[in-house]
Amino acid sequence: MIISGVFTAVVTILLWILSQILVLGFCPRHSHFKVGLFLYGLSFVGFLVWEWPTSWLNLLNGGLLHILFYCTFMEFYYYIDRPITLRILVEARKNLNRVLDINKLHQTYDLKYMIQRRLKSLVASGYIAEKNANFYLTTKGKIFAKIFEKGSKIFGVIR
C-alpha cells in the first residue's frame, strides 16, 4: 500500500528534523551540513528498514517523498542561515529598543569580513583549498560548481 510508504517517509523525516534540532546545538557551526547529511542518511536507512520488505512502488514513492522532504528542509535551513536581510531583521528584534545602529550594522556585515567567513566555510567544507593566500577549487568544489552551473542554466538563473 502506497500510504504506508508516505507515512514512513513523513515519520522518518520528522525524526530527522528532531534529531537535527537536538544534535546541531552541540556541533561546531562549520560541521552542521555534514552532521545534517549524516543524520539524513540514517533516517533514510531507517525508512528503508521500516518499509522492508514491501513492494517496489511503496519504496519508490516513499523514497522519493523522503528525498523531496530533505530538499525542502535544506532550502528552509539555508533561508534561515545565510541571507543578510533576514539576519538584520532578527538583530532588530533582539535589540531592546528595536532600533538598528547603521555603524554597528556596517561593523557586523563588513563585506571583507563576510567574504573571509564564507571562504573559511568553503575551506572547512572541502570545496576550496588555500595556498599562499590564494584559493583553489578542490575536486569536490569543481563538481559542485559544475552542478550549480548546469542547474542555473536549466532553471534560467543568470549568474
DSSP state of 96: T
Rounded to the nearest 5 degrees, what angle is found at the Cα of 114, between the Cα atoms of 113 and 120? 90
Average pLDDT along the chain: 78
- In which residue ranges of the chain is pLDDT below 50? none
pLDDT in tens, 118-152: 888 889 889 899 999 899 999 999 998 888 888 76
pTM of the model: 0.45
Which residues lie closer than 8 Å to 3 by C-beta, 6 or more apart? none
